[in-house]
């Protein structure tokens, strides 16, 4: 099909900064959709102009209804880097689209900062929870972040200060490429109460203060990193379980009987774009899961109320399944394994005798790997130290078909 949707990246300098090819496409356009800020700086005589509403879902649905009509969208920077092009490519066949990028905000920011782009975490806080910044806080780490407005910078700075990163060096890069371009350099402590232009990109060089709170992304966070009521997969067992599940970019995990959400949260932290659905019947634990997800930088974790197998109906098919609670229930394994994609891994843990008996029976019927982990931790006993054993945990893991 001949492309009917053209998406042109444009900078703060408006049409003057377009390449000749992009300018020719814009000149030939009949219907142009663009944000108000872009329209205010770009002259488009003789064209049907439709301001970008800001309501992304409505705009996408409107474009789908008009499929085949010649439409041009003006988007900031590179439409395929956290942009509208990447969003629309999930809904519209790519052969029906034409993408003409301008330098992304990340490229412009890296050139202003003198940073090697491949050594920087590039994230978007535009229309997204600022709490995800927690995931990237580490001593010496460099971050480039898109923002929604000046308030986003202040929120990010407050989050960093509360985590002990208040001395971090921030550069607020306003209106890059435009006449009003400005760079403001300050610390996170100072930025928390400062004002900035709404059109900006945030550059961060993390500096950890004494007692700074940051968490490595390697699975096996301390148990006290999570709010829990005792229903938690312990640190050592969690690391071993996630090693068997094998997080990878974009993959979806079902965490059945999620407890405080420790496994699904660490799954999401371990790989770029990894997703998880935490299924939990207990309301208080669902609240804990949501709070833990925000505190540990994965606010997009989806929490589902209910009990397997009934609660699994209608969910997106997973790439991996973890059954931390309820493996002894009727039909739980069968429903989860049926839904699991080929090549996916199912892992189940048990601490009770009936749960372990179920795993032994399932291993006898389906194969897979059985491991029993017994961990002891050194703790004070009187004036001495002694080993205090945790309950042994049996882990059963099973690969569905070929693939890994």
Q: Which fold has domain 223-399?
A: Rossmann fold (3.40.50)
User: Taking Cα atoms as reference points, which of 148, 121, 150, 146 lies closest to residue 135?
Assistant: 121
Is residue 147 pLDDT above 90, yes or no? Answer: yes
What mean pLDDT is reported for the chain? Answer: 93
For the stretch 160-176, what's the b/e string if a residue is b when 16 or more beta carbons lie within 10 angstroms of its beta carbon? bbebbbbbbebbbbbbb
Instruction: Give Cα 283 to chain centroid, integer Å.
Output: 24
- Packed helices 262-270 and 235-245: angle between N→C axes, nearest 10 degrees: 50
Distance CA 39, CA 7 (A): 15
Q: Which of 141-145, 169-173, 213-217 bottoms out in mean pLDDT, i.e. has the lowest?
A: 213-217
402 falls in which pLDDT band (50, 70, 90)? low
CB 137 within 8 A of CB 160: yes
The whole-number pLDDT of residue 62 equals 87
What tokens appear for 16 in the block?
A: 């003057």
Q: What is the secondary structure of 56-75 as a DSSP string?
A: HHHHHHHHHHTTTS-EEEEE
Q: Which residue has the higher pLDDT, 251 or 46?
A: 251
> pLDDT, tens digit, for every residue of 340-358?
999 999 999 999 999 999 9
* pTM for the full predicted model: 0.91
> pLDDT, tens digit, for every residue of 76-133?
999 999 999 999 999 999 999 999 999 999 999 999 999 999 999 999 999 999 999 9
Distance CA 263, CA 265 (A): 5
Task: Kindly state the average pLDDT of the residues 129-157.
Answer: 97
Partner residues linked to 394 by β-bridges: 350, 372
CATH superfamily of 106-205: Tetrapyrrole methylase, C-terminal domain (3.30.950.10)
> pLDDT, tens digit, for every residue of 239-285?
999 999 999 999 999 999 999 999 999 999 999 999 999 999 999 99
**Domain ranges across the chain:** 5-102, 106-205, 223-399
75: left (phi over 0), alpha (psi -120 to 50) or beta: beta
Partner residues linked to 99 by β-bridges: 7
CATH code of the region 5-102: 3.40.1010.10
The whole-number pLDDT of residue 225 equals 96
Q: Do domains 5-102 and 223-399 have the same CATH topology?
A: no
What tokens appear for 344 in the block?
A: 């996916």
15 falls in which pLDDT band (50, 70, 90)? confident
CB 227 within 8 A of CB 251: no
Q: Above pLDDT 90, what percent of the chain? A: 81
- Packed helices 283-295 and 262-270: angle between N→C axes, nearest 10 degrees: 30
Distance CA 377, CA 342 (A): 38
């Amino acid at each position: 099909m001949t492309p009917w949707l053209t998406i042109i990246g444009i900078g703060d300098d408006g049409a003057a900064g377009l390449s000749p090819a992009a300018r020719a496409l814009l000149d030939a356009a009949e219907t142009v959709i663009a944000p108000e800020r872009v329209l205010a700086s770009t002259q488009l005589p003789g064209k049907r102009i439709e301001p970008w509403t800001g309501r992304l879902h409505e705009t996408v649905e409107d474009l789908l209804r008009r499929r085949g009509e010649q439409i041009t969208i003006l988007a900031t920077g590179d439409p395929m880097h956290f942009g509208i092009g990447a969003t629309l490519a999930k809904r519209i066949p790519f052969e029906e689209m034409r993408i003409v990028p301008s330098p992304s905000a990340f490229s412009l920011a890296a050139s202003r900062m003198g940073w090697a782009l491949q050594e920087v975490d590039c994230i978007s806080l535009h229309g997204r929870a600022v709490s995800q910044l927690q995931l990237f806080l580490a001593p010496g780490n460099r971050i480039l972040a898109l923002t929604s407005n000046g308030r986003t910078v202040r929120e990010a700075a407050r989050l960093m200060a509360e985590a002990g990163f208040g001395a971090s060096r921030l550069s607020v890069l306003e209106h890059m490429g435009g006449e009003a371009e400005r760079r403001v350099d300050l610390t996170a402590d100072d930025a928390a109460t400062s004002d900035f232009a709404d059109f900006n990109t945030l550059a961060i060089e993390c500096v950890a203060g004494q007692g700074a709170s940051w968490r490595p992304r390697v699975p096996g966070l301390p148990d006290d990193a999570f709010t829990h009521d005792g229903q938690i997969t312990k640190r050592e067992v969690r690391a071993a379980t996630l090693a068997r599940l094998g997080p990878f970019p974009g993959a979806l995990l079902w965490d059945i009987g999620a407890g405080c959400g420790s496994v699904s949260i660490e799954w999401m932290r371990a790989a770029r774009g990894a997703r998880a659905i935490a299924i939990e019947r207990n309301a208080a634990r669902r609240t804990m899961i949501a709070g833990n997800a925000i505190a540990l930088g994965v606010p997009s974790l989806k929490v589902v109320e209910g009990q397997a197998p009934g609660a699994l109906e209608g969910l997106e098919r997973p790439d991996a399944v973890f059954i931390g609670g309820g493996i002894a229930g009727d039909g739980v394994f069968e429903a989860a394994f049926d839904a699991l994609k080929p090549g996916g891994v199912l892992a189940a843990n048990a601490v009770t005798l009936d749960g372990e008996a179920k795993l032994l029976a399932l291993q006898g019927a389906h194969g897979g790997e059985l491991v029993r982990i017994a961990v002891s931790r050194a703790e004070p006993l009187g004036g001495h130290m002694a080993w205090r054993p945790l309950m042994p945990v049996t882990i059963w893991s099973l690969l569905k078909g070929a693939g890994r």
